[in-house]
Structure 1
Amino acid sequence: MQAMKNIEEFYKRTNYPLPKDFNDNIGHFNVLRRTASINIPFSRKSYFKITLLKGPNKVHYADKTLESQDYALMFSDPLVPYSWDSLDGKKDGCFCIFTEEFFYQFSAIRNYPVFKIDGNKLFLLDEYALKEVERIFEKMFEEKESEYDFKDDILRNLTLELIHLAMKMQPAKKAQNNSQDKKTKISSLFVELLNRQFPINLPYERLNLKSPSDYAKSLNIHTNHLNRTLKEVTSKTTTELIATRVLEEAKILLKHTSWTINEISYSLGYEDSSHFINFFKKRVNQTPHLYRILSNV
């Protein structure tokens, strides 16, 4: 897998014109039309992206592949490698790209479920939802070209409107009591810590937190309390949650890099590659080597 692509590389690779105000602000935002000549390589990017896809498309993110036949809204974030293929050769639609710094002191953009590692990334749109999404994007294009001094605030609000539109398509969650809120908070902090360990972009990079006790220490709580809380909130143990995320990263590295099994094993915190092979085989019923071969057929 290629190294993480930054926002400047995006403009160089795609030939979209670099905005005149590119270096004027700390954060960056742009809204663009999709073009048929642009291909999106499977990789992690250092920026966020929300894309309106029209027509049949095959979307790849992490180790998943999904298809959209008509209209879809795709959320891409720096934690998850992604790409997509147009199944009819056309690339209709549009997208906005932005950095986390663009939302500095405005909103914690990473806290929204669509930008979580395990959150839904692709939302299929009916005709009504399509009109709403198109309305928001057209407003973005209009504001981007305006001379209004506070247009960035409007663009941030429009971006959040897209996010909330997608999130409202998901089932509502029941209100929780204060005790449950505290447990949910611990669970959220744990997930955030877990996700910060990734992505792994180079073979010599390595996980800093490996065991439940490592996470409990970082959260300043007892390991048993962390285990009980996560079991109640997620129905999974701390060890299971860590293993699930490590397994997901292992699949990504096996499928999209040429790293050796030993290199992948080391980067995921295993001193002995045989332990990693046993871990992987137990959960996938395939050796890492066989998984790599079958994934690239």
Structure 2
Amino acid sequence: MLSAEILERIRSGNSFWVATHIDPDGDAIGSVLLVGRLLRHLGKKYAIYLCDPVPHKFEFLAGVEEITNKEPDFKPDTFITVDLPDLVRLGYTPPQSQIINIDHHPSNEDYGDYNWIDVNRTAACVMVLELLKSVDFPLGRQEGEMVFTGIYTETGGFSYPNVSTEVFLVSADILELGVNAADIALRMTARDERNLALLGKVLATLRIEDTVATIELTENMLKELEINRADQDSDSFIRYPVSIPGVRIAIFFRENPTSGEVRMSFRSLTGVDVNQLAARFGGGGHQNAAGARVRGDYKEVKKRVLEEAKGYLSCAEA
């Protein structure tokens, strides 16, 4: 529940940084933009400072040009994080300031001086929407697009198990603001020719072992299709293996030789808690959707994670 202490801290603060997790998704981008609207409304000095660039498909959102990947030239007295379960996934050293932590991940570590954690909320942007309403912010279509984008991506287009009654009630209110739901859905699912070819290459790597399905995206695939890492749009690829009947866990491996990391996405559509599995590799997320990054040899990491996943399922079934 939104506390009076958080509202008071925002009202009394003078300068703010706003941030979210590495590899930002629609909920993360929508949420930081909404916080920016709130701070502007209250006349505060602020910067939205993220570790990673904004994915191209979210660039239509109003105010996205405010987001920077360079450290701001001022130090904040208040640091607001949204959709960020732990400070490791921030991607940079947080400033020495008061932290307001707004999140819906069950794995959140309560690292803030002020923590608003609600695991029953489907998306962080819905929580920030409540914050805006609490100060009588004049909501319009642009804010509605931020919220709807967050909800749409967080629920997989209203297809994941986290879809709730609140999701539809909030979406209905948002559409009344003039949001074009069909347009946003198209933006979230549209792919150019090269990214469609990339999807084909990734799905060709599909393997299923003991109800664990894996797919992978290698550096060679990007080179063959002449796709820059920043231009590839692969986050939704994990939806395909997890939808296969009988699959209990799906894992999407992505190679990054530049950073020496292997990025992994975990999904499940059953009672399997992939958040706990991701935590074994320093990651986290939700029961049915989580992620992690591991440094090491790509093939060795894949082998280790797959064996861990199969063992995890065996223990869960015992």
**TM category, shorter:** under 0.3
Greater strand percent: which structure? 2
Q: Which has the larger radius of gyration?
A: 1
TM-score, structure 1 normalization:
0.27
Greater helix percent: which structure? 1
